[in-house]
Structure 1
Amino acid sequence: MKIPRSEQETIVIYDVEVGKWHIDTTYPPHIRKYLPAMGKIDEKTQDRLAGWISDEFSGSFMTRRRKTLTDEQRQRVREQLRKRQEQ
């Protein structure tokens, strides 16, 4: 069963007593991102991943929406990249 996009979420909690991060997510990109980092998995289905991050995980939990650039901004970025490549 596919979860509607409006109901997809990721909850990340740090448990001080355990000293580990717990993740519960129904957002497919986060399921793919964090699955390799999981230690003890409480629940894993196609639509949900819940469990504890392993001690070996050295990644980041920072997530942000991708910037949407205007055509003018894209052109400026292209010009800057060309200038760097020429140097």
Structure 2
Amino acid sequence: MTTVNVRIDEKTKARATKVLSHIGLDMSSAVKVFLSQVIIEGGLPFKPKRSSKEIRAQWDKDIEEAVKTRNIFTSVDDILNDQTV
């Protein structure tokens, strides 16, 4: 097993935790389910509801932050094999 650390604002975490608790999941279990579905689907297991422009802007921001703070991976296998993720 490995550990994944995710930076997210407190409000989003609190709201997600509340929703997940109503369906019997904790955050860790929900992330495991999500990542398993990403692998099965070969991408996001849902269609994002925000506009592509908004999504792209957020992704660009997230990528910029990742470049500053962490490794850059070129494949899912690299991510799964990395011990710092």
TM-score range, shorter chain: under 0.3
Q: Give the TM-score normalised by the residue count of structure 2.
A: 0.22
Which has the larger share of strand?
A: 1
User: Comparing both chains, which one has the higher relative contact order based on Cα–Cα distances under 8 Å and sequence gaps of 6 or more?
Assistant: 2
Which has the larger share of helix?
A: 2
Q: Give the TM-score normalised by the residue count of structure 1.
A: 0.22
Larger gyration radius, structure 1 or structure 2: 1
